[in-house]
Amino acid sequence: MTARILDGNKIRDEIMHELGGQIHELKAAGITPGLAAVLVGENPASQIYVRNKVKTCQSLGLYSEKIEWPADTTTERLLELVHELNARDEIDGILVQLPLPPQVDSKAVLEAIDPLKDVDGFHPVSVGNLVQGRPGLVPCTPAGIIEILRRSGIEMKGARAVVIGRSDIVGKPVAMLLLHNHATVTICHSRTRDLPAVAREGDILVAAMGRAAFVTADFIKPGATVIDVGINRLATEEEVRRIYHHPEGPLAKLREKGSVLVGDVQPEDAREKAGAFTPVPGGVGPLTIAMLMSNTVKAAKLRRGSRVAAKA
């Protein structure tokens, strides 16, 4: 039996449609949610991410600002900018695109963001709210994972969930969100003993360690739901042949496009052994920007609750 593909593009479109209605209601109350995206340096991937975020804001009718500064920007100057954005009422969300240049104290910059405008959900106050289950802004990729599970009818309540990866951006927050949805959660990492055996306990398996096709059939419980968070670019025939059992299709794509995207899960194994899985690309990725837009709208509601009721 072939696993069901969980279509992130379809779920993103559902969320965007719902957000359109919420934004219309906010505008009727005199509120246009606003997002400021700060980009430092000329990292090509970061430029694409920020451009897509601003473009999505525009398509939804949100106010957006893209602030681009040179790579030699200091921590002090960035802190001044963040304080300025904190004080501006028309800005509901502040996004500082990572990674920042090496001379910048990224932690200090992120912690300077007003927690009410922390649409990435990285501030210690946001983390505390998440741990305690309080209303607040949740990191976008973990929030998107929960939306995929919920909207795909995957039962979290009572399920055994295994998360491979313990990053502050994905692993830890998605484990906490699964716990809040009444799953029994195990977090694994590079030092977990007999990792495949632990992973096979999961009715839900989240792979978020940033290693191409690391999770193979040996990690997957038959019929499990596999959420693949990884995005890894393969640029050589050797890499493609090493990872794929049947490399003909990926090799053709490599020759056509110059690279092939693969997640942290071996896709052929997931297709054959899982009950459902998220593809790469087209799975978790589309939800990240959708949840950023959702957080911006949520921040506007939480900040300006006197004019419109905030949805926790």
Q: Which residues are catalytic?
A: 53, 97, 120
Q: Give, in degrees to the nearest 5, the angle at Cα 74 between 68 and 77.
A: 70
Q: Give, in degrees to the nearest 5, the angle at Cα 233 between 227 and 237.
A: 120
Token pair in block for residue 186: 């195990």
Contacts of 81 (CB under 8 A, 6+ apart): 38, 67, 69
Phi, psi of 233 (to 5 degrees): -100, 120
DSSP conformation class of 118: -
Q: How far apart are CA 189 and CA 54, in angstroms?
A: 34
Q: How far apart are CA 247 and CA 88, in angstroms?
A: 52
Please say whether the beta carbons of 177 and 138 come within 8 A: yes
For residue 199, how many C-alpha atoms fall within 13 Å in the half-sphere facing its CB? 28
Q: How far apart are CA 223 and CA 204, in angstroms?
A: 9
**Ramachandran quadrant class, 81 (left: phi over 0; alpha: psi -120 to 50; beta: rest):** alpha
Q: How far apart are CA 283 and CA 308, in angstroms?
A: 33
Identify the CA nearest to 228 among candidates 154, 289, 144.
144
